[in-house]
Structure 1
Amino acid sequence: MADLPREIRGVMIPVSNGRVLLPNATVAEVITYATPERIADAPDWLLGRLAWRGWRLPLFSYSMLTEASQAEGYSNAKVAVLKALGGQARMPFLALLTQGFPRLVTVTQDLLIPSGDARERRTGVLAEVLVRDDHAQIPDLEAIETLVARALAA
């Protein structure tokens, strides 16, 4: 069995009322925010669709999805284009609304400390962690992809 890597390159992504931590390989690109095309009858956290490299990406608010925020600000907003994990040919990417530029971090087992109560986990949150002195959430991307796909199919 191959040894697991001792460190992982990650990105700390600012969102309203917090940060999310993802592997750097998950982020395809960070782009300037543009007003998305609305999706009829979509939940509030599904902000619309953005055009990107020939795709119409579903743009979601992680903070609104996880109920950490009721609304989003757009003055410093960027969009992190994420590689979808679910293998759906019609949705190979998702767009995450951010509140600024992501920051590269090196994550090791010693630096990643679980925090929060796992029994009180919210929708879309896989774990709450501390990386050095930064609180962050690790999003449950598979669950988020499923929620986005269901909302688009409705």
Structure 2
Amino acid sequence: MKESAATPGDQAPVAALLLPLQGLNLVVAQAAVGEVIAAPEAEPVPGSPDWVTGMFAWRGEQLPLISLERLLGRKPAKARSRSRAVVLYGLGGFRGVDYYGIEVDGIPHPVLLRREMVEDLGEEIRQAGMSVGRAVVVGGQPGMIPDLVAIEQALSDWLVRA
């Protein structure tokens, strides 16, 4: 049987979620998402980075809740009834970061992403001395594919010091 090489257009679509922030959608693979929950009450932690909102209870564990808007140097959205948190699996294997939450400004929307739907703007987004993600356009809307491993490394570094 003859095997043929895959062409870039042959890549399988990726099941993703668009996570709304103020004026920007985060694009995250659904496989990285543990659960979408109502915005939790987070307990502030003295000495935490300003982008760490605090710790919250989820399934019997205390998880860090982060604000990517703050990490990006933006003013976070005011909490409202549609605010949510997305619990993500820790992908990088960093100590203390098995799960964590990201604040979002609304209900995430599932999307089946195909290569032609995403325009990479070729811009790495850096804040707080680290890579935060890549700027993209998804379906005509501005977005960002977050660098979850870099964010998890920063979370782990803080948790180890705390």
Do the two structures share a fold, i.e. TM-score over 0.5?
yes
Unaligned stretches of 5+ in structure 2?
Answer: none
Residue pairs, 1:32-111, within 5 angstroms? 32-67=38-73, 69-75=74-80, 76-88=82-94, 90-111=96-117
Cα deviation digits, residues 53-102 of structure 1 (max 9, x gap): 121110000111121x1344111321000011112353211100011110
Distance in 2, matches of 1:24 and 1:71, equals: 24
CA distance in 2, matches of 1:131, 1:15: 14
Shift in Å, 1:137: 0.2
Contact 2:16 2:111 in 1 (8 A): yes
Residue 135 of structure 1 corresponds to which residue in structure 2? 142
Q: Across the two proteins, how many residue pairs are aligned to each other? A: 151
Greater gyration radius: 2
Q: Is the 8 A contact 2:18 2:110 kept in 1?
A: yes
Which residue of the other structure, out of 22, 33, 45, is the alignment partner of 1:27? 33
CA distance in 1: counterparts of 2:76 and 2:123, whole angstroms: 25
Gaps of 5+ in 1: none
Cα deviation for residue 33 of structure 1 reads 1.1
Runs (4 or more) in structure 1 with deviation over 3 Å come to 1-5
* Residues 109/71 of structure 1: CA separation in 2 closer, same or farther (3 Å cut): closer
Q: 1:145 aligns with which of 105, 127, 152?
A: 152
CA RMSD, aligned part only? 2.1
- Give the percent of matched residue pairs that are identical in Structure 1 and Structure 2: 27
Relative distance call for 1:5 and 1:140 in structure 2 (3 A) is: same
The answer (yes or no) to whether the contact 2:94–2:156 under 8 Å persists in 1 is no
